[in-house]
Structure 1
Amino acid sequence: MVLGKVKSLTISFDCLNDSNVPVYSSGDTVSGRVNLEVTGEIRVKSLKIHARGHAKVRWTESRNAGSNTAYTQNYTEEVEYFNHKDILIGHERDDDNSEEGFNTIHSGRHEYAFSFELPQTPLATSFEGRHGSVRYWVKAELHRPWLLPVKLKKEFTVFEHIDINTPSLLSPQAGTKDKTLCCWFCTSGPISLSAKIERKGYTPGESIQIFAEIENCSSRMVVPKAAIYQTQAFYAKGKMKEVKQLVANLRGESLSSGKTETWNGKLLKIPPVSPSILDCSIIRVEYSLMVYVDIPGAMDLFLNLPLVIGTIPLHPFGSRTSSVSSQCSMNMNWLGLSLPERPEAPPSYAEVVTEEQRRNNLAPMSACDDFERALQGPLFAYIQEFRFLPPPLYSEDPNVPWLLCVDSDEQQCGIVKALGKETVILSALEASTRSPLCPALMRRGSFPLP
């Protein structure tokens, strides 16, 4: 008898969504079929499936042992989420080559169904990183007598859902920073930066509305910018390896001395990226919005606002619980924001991100020059109209006190006060006539006068 051949062995999943992408969550039942096509009759000992989900990290570091001796230190760690095995044809023992242990499969196409349930405990979201990954897969193995087994592995995606409608992710994020440039005995005016975003949680495909005010009282030309960063952290053997990658960025207008720029909801779109991973013990993926001022010849002025990229999009206000709406309203009042009813909710993560896009790693950040790269694709998605009441400029605040200050090299002290677009700096002699505290200033800092 002439034995046939295996023409194809494939795995297909029964998808739970309309996009025909195999996406699952904790507690879901993963079902599918192993498709076998043969030409002629074949004898089979067994057809098995093996399903597994695990997170794994690995990296190496070079160590110097002295005396011109170096070695490589390996760091590896693994967490298993589930491990399932099943036999679709035959029996457990693959080393049994007796005639009684064979199953005959006739020519044609054959389907063998399988199913298993994912654990109810939280699972890490599928992820491919620089030094680690979170993977879920099903492997089929066809064993035949006196022949090598035919093996096939196919991955599926798991999302540990993050609902951005929770109060902690609806709370606005804000911050303020300033910087004074010093060169030897000369001190220029301050550069001040304040920024706000309406909430902490977003989903891919949304645009972050950035409200910011940048005031340049220095003598240099500065440029305000903003960027979204992804930070991947990998843990093994008590060590941590971190990778920071640029996701998206934008650039404002250059500011000359004495100028101010205001961003009234400047849009920065979130491209298709992996959701935040916050519950895995060996891999952590976090995001942040960095609003900063590019200062030539000096350290930039940075302001970091944390972000969480979720999978369940924002619901209209009307569909939220009263507690969530109350929490959001309270925080909005604190920031001086007034939001109207939201439009239609943005798309969910699964609707925006394709399987191919999820597998593509982000381009790593090589240097600060990467900020200059333009974000590809349309930046404008949807502008939500609402009023923003920014705080007064530092120079416009009538309550700004006179400040005693010492410059960075601790060689000069004086009193400064912002007056309109100018800054008055009194000498140490003039300062001593206005305040008895000036002789006591022997350390760096600024102190309000009584």
Structure 2
Amino acid sequence: MIFDKVKRLAVVLDSPELDAPPVFSSGDVVSGRVVLELSASCRVEALKLHAEGSARVHWTESRSAGSSTAYTQNYSDEVEYLNRREALLQAEGGELTLLAAGRHDFPFSFQLPDETLVTSFEGEHGSVRYWVKVKLHRPWAAVRKVKKEFTVIQPIDINTPALLAPQAGTRDKTARVWYRNCGQVSVTAKIDRKGYTPGEVIPIFAEFDNSSSRSVIPKAIITQTQSFVARGTQRQKRTVVATLSGEAVGARRRQTWQGRAIKIPPVGPSILQCRIIKVEYMLRVCVGVPGTSKLSLELPLVIGTIPLHPFGSRTSSVSSQYSVNLDWLRMALPEQPEPPPEYSSVITEEEAEQQSPTAPQPVDDLSGILERPLMAFVQEFRFLPPPMYSEVDPNPPPCNMRPRCMTC
């Protein structure tokens, strides 16, 4: 029996949180240590580290040619994102390194590429994985290997103009019974933005107009579509991640959703930058139309990692709730607003006489000026802007003024 002196070989990654595994993104530094525990002294040739990250797809399709011949076709592809090698311990000059019994720690660190990486992903026909692999080379012994995977999440900030833009659309279909038309069913839906994060609620504003002679049931679903591409062929898998059902819309009736909420479950972020793997999300507002296929209105979604800022959330929520109701107000406002009416036109002559202060007696050198009407002076100041705000009182009280006693 061969006695193995290696009791433990492990890779430990540094994490800012004690109980949580580390999560990295492009440009981050991955650091940790390789732990080697020996039960007795051991000679080592090398201890090598290999950091790797790639996206891979693979699936098999069976095809038949005739009644008796069948064959299978394999599809696979790979895109590399990380490939780094480093020797943590290397024998110099052909001499082996003697390590004493006990525990030995070999620290390491490397930086992830600055270019955009792809978020870690596990799918039915492909995956995106990142890992650190360590190999221990010893004379007259098999190579000892250990592998440690780590998670990479590429941030997606939904606080961008493209992801804050509202999404809306309209679709319609004709209901049929046998070969007879029974009327038309139409759907109009809108959501306040395109980007969301897991746990958020999407308010749906929709209108279902059922002009047919049969009842229809509206629904809203969130779907995830995984796309895998290899050798010019695409394989897809669709999954429903959230559903919302509404009340039946009777014949010749109309129903409105004023912000019906559908919640996004804990799902992975969208993957849009990989050449062979994509993860996309869609909000589908559907209606089952009798006698034909389902009427479906698709509104694209992007699931991000950086949530909406408080200011952006308030602005988008207000605009989403009232943008439709304020259309009439935008049409009613003129491009050039009229000036406000004169003060004298909105009060009576008696009120003007009571509010006007008693004018002093004119002097001889002002007789020519007072011959001008009073409104001529008012007209010069009608459209002047108000005075600028200042924290300093332009008319401070005199220093010799005694303070007023509050008890008097």
**Residue 253 (structure 1) aligns with:** 247
**Residue 126 (structure 1) aligns with:** 120
Question: Counterpart amino acid of 1:149?
Answer: V
Task: Evaluate the alpha carbon distance shift between residue 390 and residue 226 of structure 1 in structure 2; reply closer, same or farther with a 3 A threshold.
Answer: farther
**Residue 374 (structure 2) aligns with:** none
Deviation for aligned residue 1:49: 1.1
**Residue 179 (structure 1) aligns with:** 173
Question: Could you tell me how far apart the structure 2 residues matched to 1:174 and 1:19 are?
Answer: 43
**Residue 365 (structure 1) aligns with:** none
Question: Could you tell me how far apart the structure 2 residues matched to 1:195 and 1:201 are?
Answer: 16
Q: Is contact 2:176–2:292 with CA below 8 Å preserved after alignment?
A: no
Question: Counterpart amino acid of 1:287?
Answer: Y
Q: Which runs of 4+ in 1 moved over 6 A?
A: none
Q: TM-score, normalised by structure 1?
A: 0.67
Deviation for aligned residue 1:387: 4.0
**Residue 37 (structure 2) aligns with:** 37
Question: Could you tell me how far apart the structure 2 residues matched to 1:292 and 1:390 are?
Answer: 24
Deviation for aligned residue 1:186: 3.2
Deviation for aligned residue 1:67: 6.6
Residues 95-132 of structure 1, C-alpha deviations (whole Å, 9 max, x = no match): xxxxx643232333222111111111111111111111
Residues 30-50 of structure 1, C-alpha deviations (whole Å, 9 max, x = no match): 111112222232332222111
Look up the SS of the partner of 2:162 in the other structure. Answer: helix
Question: Counterpart amino acid of 1:143?
Answer: H
Question: Could you tell me how far apart the structure 2 residues matched to 1:258 and 1:161 are?
Answer: 47
Question: Could you tell me how far apart the structure 2 residues matched to 1:79 and 1:186 are?
Answer: 53
Question: Could you tell me how far apart the structure 2 residues matched to 1:105 and 1:282 are?
Answer: 45
Q: TM-score, normalised by structure 2?
A: 0.73
Matches within 5 A, 1:247-396: 247-317=241-311, 338=319, 386-387=321-322, 389=324
204, 229, 232: which is aligned to 1:210?
A: 204
Aligned sequence identity (%): 56
Deviation for aligned residue 1:185: 5.4
Task: Evaluate the alpha carbon distance shift between residue 391 and residue 19 of structure 1 in structure 2; reply closer, same or farther with a 3 A threshold.
Answer: farther
Question: Could you tell me how far apart the structure 1 residues matched to 2:220 and 2:131 are?
Answer: 38
Query: Do structure 1's residue 7 and structure 2's residue 7 form an aligned pair?
Result: yes
Tell me which structure has the larger Cα radius of gyration.
Answer: 2
Matches within 5 A, 1:410-421: none
Question: Could you tell me how far apart the structure 1 residues matched to 2:170 and 2:82 are?
Answer: 46
Q: Is contact 1:189–1:217 with CA below 8 Å preserved after alignment?
A: yes
Q: Is contact 2:185–2:289 with CA below 8 Å preserved after alignment?
A: no
Residues 119-158 of structure 1, C-alpha deviations (whole Å, 9 max, x = no match): 1111111111111111110011122222222211111111
Task: Evaluate the alpha carbon distance shift between residue 291 and residue 92 of structure 1 in structure 2; reply closer, same or farther with a 3 A threshold.
Answer: farther
Question: Counterpart amino acid of 2:133?
Answer: K
Q: Output the aligned Cα RMSD.
A: 2.7
Question: Could you tell me how far apart the structure 2 residues matched to 1:318 and 1:238 are?
Answer: 41
Residues 281-313 of structure 1, C-alpha deviations (whole Å, 9 max, x = no match): 111111110110124553111000001111111
Question: Could you tell me how far apart the structure 1 residues matched to 2:79 and 2:9 are?
Answer: 30
Question: Could you tell me how far apart the structure 2 residues matched to 1:50 and 1:88 are?
Answer: 10
Deviation for aligned residue 1:279: 1.1
Question: Could you tell me how far apart the structure 1 residues matched to 2:92 and 2:226 are?
Answer: 41
Look up the SS of the partner of 1:156 in the other structure. Answer: strand
**Residue 60 (structure 2) aligns with:** 60
Question: Counterpart amino acid of 2:170?
Answer: T
Deviation for aligned residue 1:215: 2.4
Task: Evaluate the alpha carbon distance shift between residue 217 and residue 19 of structure 1 in structure 2; reply closer, same or farther with a 3 A threshold.
Answer: farther
**Residue 21 (structure 1) aligns with:** 21
**Residue 49 (structure 1) aligns with:** 49
Question: Could you tell me how far apart the structure 2 residues matched to 1:219 and 1:92 are?
Answer: 87
Query: Do structure 1's residue 152 and structure 2's residue 136 form an aligned pair?
Result: no
Q: Which moved more, 1:170-179 or 1:248-257?
A: 248-257
Question: Could you tell me how far apart the structure 1 residues matched to 2:19 and 2:289 are?
Answer: 46
**Residue 377 (structure 2) aligns with:** none
Q: Give the gaps of 5 or more residues in structure 1.
A: 94-99, 340-385, 393-450
Q: Is contact 1:63–1:70 with CA below 8 Å preserved after alignment?
A: yes
Question: Could you tell me how far apart the structure 1 residues matched to 2:180 and 2:74 are?
Answer: 51
**Residue 190 (structure 1) aligns with:** 184
Question: Could you tell me how far apart the structure 2 residues matched to 1:276 and 1:223 are?
Answer: 30
Matches within 5 A, 1:101-140: 101-140=95-134
Q: Is contact 1:163–1:310 with CA below 8 Å preserved after alignment?
A: yes
Question: Counterpart amino acid of 1:68?
Answer: S
